[in-house]
Amino acid sequence: MQPSVSIKDLSLNFGNVKVLDRLNLDIAQGEFIVLLGPSGCGKSTLLNCIAGLLDVSDGQIFINGKNVTWEEPKDRGIGMVFQSYALYPQMTVERNLSFGLRVAGMPKDEINRRVARAAEILQIQPLLNRKPANLSGGQRQRVAIGRALVRDVDVFLFDEPLSNLDAKLRSDLRVEIKRLHARLKNTMIYVTHDQIEALTLADRIAIMKNGVIQQLADPHTIYNKPVNLYVAGFIGSPSMNFISGSLDGATFTADDGTKIPVGAYDFAAQRTGASKAVLGVRPEHILLGDAAQGMPFQTQAEIEIVEPMGSETLAWTKVAGIPVTFRCSSDIPLHAGDKVTVGFDIARGSLFDAKSENRL
């Protein structure tokens, strides 16, 4: 099956600054792709290029097999939702939804049918005669999604649509967007800097840095098998613990001399000899007490700070001279100053080459 959106060798320069550098991305029909990265990584720029709001410097963009690199946004078969909602403030919700169609000269009953359908899907029928100023943030964003919906397009683009909402609304609307995708089965490209949104919504996540996609994979792979140090550090909260040292065969020696056996680790490639490396372990893969017994590496550690989060507890300690966070059930009573045995689940950890920063 041909990809819904296909980006080939896309580059974009502003003067001498390379914002996107020979970027390739294929998005399948009906897929939900999240572009994730810190601000300035080029994710919104990429989305604007796909939308046709920015002219590319080099490369091609195909939507449904059609080369749209130099097409106007309206001819690309896309609908877009913006962070600031970008509703037309002097028009009612109904006019906001129908304005584009009216300008395009669509027959009246077709417009009415589409507006009614969008209003029904998004449950905004009672709001149709209001102006945006009289709507809450969540309602405005729904109208903005509706405006993309009435265009009856194959590809939806979301540019940080939830960033202007408060935490509660954000999680509500997140579920709604997921429901919308399940119902419409459109291709959706979603830009965010919020990793929770990315992990919960995406079929695949593209993590970007400096205009280059670092890793493109499903959320589970991104979380458990990050391809490099950058991805490992970006995804997860609190972030992964990193211990630098050197690797020789199946033994990892931390910088302070602590030896950690890594025989259980699933190396991507056979390797020989010693080299500098970084061991990464997620907070939930550091186990405590009895559970630590079966682990290949155990050590005594003193708890420094305890952060109870309700459902779980975060604890700060030091292993091999490096501050380490771990996560455990809130049922285990922990106090600052406690001496505990912690064990590393090496099989679920990550090892990176210190120089190339790539996964070993």
Nearer to another protein, 122 or 148 (CB): 148
Six token digits for residue 255: 């910088």
The reply on whether position 151 binds another protein by CB under 8 A is yes
Phi, psi of 203 (to 5 degrees): -80, -45
Task: Write down the least CB distance from residue 219 to another protein, Å.
Answer: 28
Going by C-beta distance under 8 Å and a sequence separation of 6 or more, which residues neighbour residue 192? 34, 35, 36, 158, 160, 162, 163, 198
Residues 56-75 interacting with another protein (rule: CB under 8 A): 72-75
The answer to whether the beta carbons of residues 112 and 125 sit under 8 Å apart is no
* 86, 184, 314, 322: which one binds another protein (CB under 8 A): 86
Q: Which of these, 345, 346, 302, lies nearest to 321 by C-alpha position?
A: 302
**Per CB under 8 A, which of residues 92..111 are in contact with another protein?**
99-100, 103-104
- Cα–Cα distance measured from residue 316 to residue 304, given in angstroms and rounded to the nearest whole number: 5
- For residue 82, state whether it binds another protein (rule: CB under 8 A): yes
Considering the rule CB under 8 A, would residue 155 count as an interface residue with another protein?
no
Shortest distance (Å) from residue 267 CB to another protein: 47
Q: Describe the crossing of helices 167-184 and 137-149 by its angle, rounded to 10 degrees.
A: 20
* Part of the chain binding another protein (CB under 8 A), chosen from 48-56, 192-200, 217-225, 284-292: 48-56
The whole-angstrom separation of Cα 139 and Cα 297 is: 52
Stretch that binds another protein, among 57-65, 86-94, 305-313, 347-355 (CB under 8 A): 86-94
Task: State the Cα–Cα distance between residues 31 and 18, nearest whole angstrom.
Answer: 28
Nearest to 100 by CA among 48, 44, 152, 162: 152
CB of 311 to another protein, least distance (A): 37
Contact stretch for another protein (CB under 8 A) within 79-87, 177-185, 305-313, 318-326: 79-87
CA 276 from chain centre, in angstroms, equals: 30
For another protein, the binding residues in 156-185 under the rule CB under 8 A are 159
Q: Does 268 bind another protein (CB under 8 A)?
A: no
Q: Does 80 bind another protein (CB under 8 A)?
A: yes
Shortest Å, Cβ 103 to another protein: 5
Residue 107 Cβ vs another protein, minimum distance, rounded to whole Å? 16
Least separation, in Å, of the C-beta of 93 and another protein? 14
CB of 48 to another protein, least distance (A): 8
Q: C-beta of 12: minimal distance to another protein in Å?
A: 16
Q: Count interface residues toward another protein (CB under 8 A).
A: 30
Q: Which residues contact 59 (CB under 8 A, 6 or more apart)?
A: 7, 8, 9, 10, 11, 22, 23, 69
The only residue of 2, 24, 90, 293 in contact with another protein, by rule CB under 8 A: 90
Residues in the chain: 360
Closer to another protein by Cβ: residue 104 or 305: 104
Q: Which of residues 214-253 bind another protein (CB under 8 A)?
A: none
**CA 292 to each of CA 317, 321, 347: distance values in angstroms, whole numbers, following the listed order:** 15, 19, 13
List strand residue ranges (DSSP E) for 193-240, in order.
204-209, 212-217
**Contact positions toward another protein, by CB under 8 A?**
48, 51-53, 72-75, 78-80, 82-91, 99-100, 103-104, 144, 147-148, 151, 159
